[in-house]
Amino acid sequence: MFVARLSTEDNNQNSKKAKKEASPMLGFSDKDKIGTIQSHDDALVVTLRIGRYDIKRVLVDQGSALEVMYPDLYKGLNLKPEDLTAYNSPLVSFEGKTITPRSQIRLPIQAGSDVVEVDFIVVDAYSPYTAIVARPWLHTLETVSSTLHQRVKYPSKGQVKKIVGN
């Protein structure tokens, strides 16, 4: 069983003891594999609400430091050049090619009732995905994800919420 315990400490220097706030246990068990075809080596691909739309084919990538948006999503959200801000650092694609991003845009991603705003880098490149969500989103939402279980779990209002892979 894969488990990560999330806890926070009260750093009040006047207090002799650090108080621990109870938080839900985030983890995966064999029960979470129900509904997945085992054994597999599939990437974790989910549907997320980005902006005001439910977006399919969003790759959850723990190894990436940037959220990325591809042309299909850019066009589908009807974004205009004036919605974008400059982004000048080149990126390296999965194939090892250097790509110069078009720009970036800050958009909300909604998971259940939780909303996190992230900066998407807009690139002109082919991808089977519409977007990639990465460590900034994962860390802000305090998620634990598992490609094996095809799930993302995160704490919300004292409960464990989950996003199931497509």
CATH number of the CATH domain containing 75: 2.40.70.10
pLDDT given for residue 72 in this prediction: 87
- CB atoms under 10 Å from CB of 30, counted, come to 9
Region 84-112 average pLDDT: 88
User: What tens digit of pLDDT does each residue of 123-165 get?
Assistant: 988 889 999 999 999 999 999 999 999 999 999 999 999 999 9
pTM value is 0.80
Residue 70 lies in a domain: yes
Q: Where are the alpha helices (DSSP H) in 33-107?
A: 71-76
Q: Give the whole-angstrom CA distance, residue 29 versus residue 33.
A: 7
Name residue 113's amino acid. Answer: S
Residue 2 lies in a domain: no
Residue 24 lies in a domain: no
Burial class (CB in 10 A: 0-12, 13-18, 19+), 99: middle
Nearest to 84 by CA among 66, 103, 70: 103
Q: Structurally, how many domains does the chain consist of?
A: 1
